[in-house]
Amino acid sequence: MGTQSCINIQKEWDIVGARQLGRDIAKKIGFGTVDQARIATAVSELARNIYLYADSGKVCFEAIETIDKKGISMIAIDSGPGISDISLVMQDGYSTSRGLGAGLPGVKRLMDEFDLISEKEQGTEVKTIKWLR
């Protein structure tokens, strides 16, 4: 297990920093150009959600390794209002039809593993992993 690197998200500019850090770590692990771009897009979506809906939060990256595979883990944590209807925001078409981009279903598609915990008034935590193939 590697060490965690985190980026705090407060301003829109921080989204760019998070993308850069995510891409650098992905590159170091050995991800190709396409996957680097996908990981960066997933970071964008997660960081943007923090920027838009929570006052503050952070995105953390970690290089992970099991016996037979390597990958990148990303965790986005915020202390925002929480998601009241998770099924709704995970529905295809919900985010895109509002012009909000690929949304959480997009993140789920870009990555290999996806988990989400959200409590009202306490915040949201999204954990995703992409494995190196």
Partner 1 sequence: MGNVIDLDAKNYKSLLKNYIETQDEKFLYRAEQISKSFLKNNILPEEIVNLHMQALDELYPSLSGEFQRSMNFLLETMISYGLAHQEFQTLREEQLALKSQIAVAASMQDTLLATSKPNIEGLDIGVISVPANQMNGDYHHFIESNDGSIGIALADVIGKGVPAALCMSMIKYSMDSFPENAMQPKSILENLNRVVERNVDPSMFITMFYAQYQPKDNKLHYASAGHEPGFYYNAKRDKFEEIEAKGLVLGVSLDAKYHQYNLHINKDDMIILLTDGVTECRQGERFIEREEVLNVIRDHAHLSAQEMVDRVYKYFQRLQNFQLRDDFTLIILRKDV
Helix axes 33-53, 103-110, angle to 10 degrees: 150
Q: Spell out the alpha helix ranges (H) of the chain.
A: 12-29, 33-53, 86-89, 103-110
C-alpha dist (Å) from residue 60 to 13, 19, 29: 16, 11, 16
The count of chain residues that interact with partner 1, using the rule CB under 8 A, is 16
Smallest distance from the beta carbon of 125 to partner 1, in angstroms? 22
Q: Which is nearer to partner 1, 71 or 103 (CB)?
A: 103
Smallest distance from the beta carbon of 101 to partner 1, in angstroms? 7
For 71, other C-beta atoms within 10 Å of its C-beta total: 20
Residues 16-55, one symbol each (x = binds partner 1 by CB under 8 A, - = not), give: ----------------xxx--xx-xx--------------
Q: Which is nearer to partner 1, 4 or 96 (CB)?
A: 96
Does the protein bind partner 1 through residue 66 (CB under 8 A)? no
